[in-house]
Amino acid sequence: MVGEYAMAQEGASTLHPSPILETRWKPFVHGPIKVNFDVAVPGTNYVVLGGVARDSVGDVVVSTCLRVLGNFEADVAEALAMRHALSTSMESGFRKVCLETDCIRLYSHLSKGYAPHTAFGLVVNDILHLARRWVSCSFSFVKRSGNCVAHKLAKLSLSFHDLRVWMEEVPSDVFSAVVDDLHFLSE
């Protein structure tokens, strides 16, 4: 199912189906910060994560890169990337977010509020627990082509050995992807 899952502060949840599967990044029309994230698995002993938060007009409010040591399955790594992006957004002071993923399995479990008894499920449960601390937190799915900025940030994480966070900007290596998204919005 394609759509968006919203969690209210009271812990209630509702599912709002969307008839269109997005192939490009679009701002969240209701004003919350939209957070995209991605992961790359370049080796066998670590994964690299990237995340970007943007406002309702597409301006970057925070971006991040992180290298995590360990050997993770792809879906666990995607969940770790979401948890990292969610935590970074929370630490940046945002209280209303839409977390957008290109991992259908992660989106499916979050939208159902279900976490299997696996390593993947432990991270999903952690995300759901963190999401309850927000005034508003929703989840949406986008095709990989709509997640380019986060993907480039994940790849850029290869250049660093520790956490990087940029407030109201992205590294120059990623700037063109942000401009591409904004150009698409103006068409």
Q: pLDDT digit string (tens) for 116-175?
A: 999 999 999 999 999 998 888 999 898 888 889 999 999 999 999 899 999 999 999 999
- Within 10 A of 159 (CB to CB), how many other CB atoms are there? 12
Amino acid at 170: V
pLDDT band at 30 (very low <50, low <70, confident <90, very high): low
pLDDT band at 56 (very low <50, low <70, confident <90, very high): confident
In whole angstroms, what is the distance from residue 170 CA to residue 174 CA? 6
Provide the pLDDT for residue 42: 83
Cα angle, residue 98 at apex, residues 93 and 101 outer, rounded to 5°:
120
Dihedral sign for Cα 185, 48, 142, 34, please.
negative
pLDDT in tens, 3-14: 444 443 333 333
Helix or strand (DSSP H, E) at 67: strand 60-69
pLDDT band at 44 (very low <50, low <70, confident <90, very high): confident
Among 184, 167, 39, 37, CA closest to 97: 37
In whole angstroms, what is the distance from residue 101 CA to residue 81 CA? 10
For the chain, percent of residues with pLDDT exceeding 70: 81
Structural domains in the chain? 19-174 (3.30.420.10)
Among 39, 67, 65, CA closest to 52: 65
**pTM, to two decimals:** 0.82
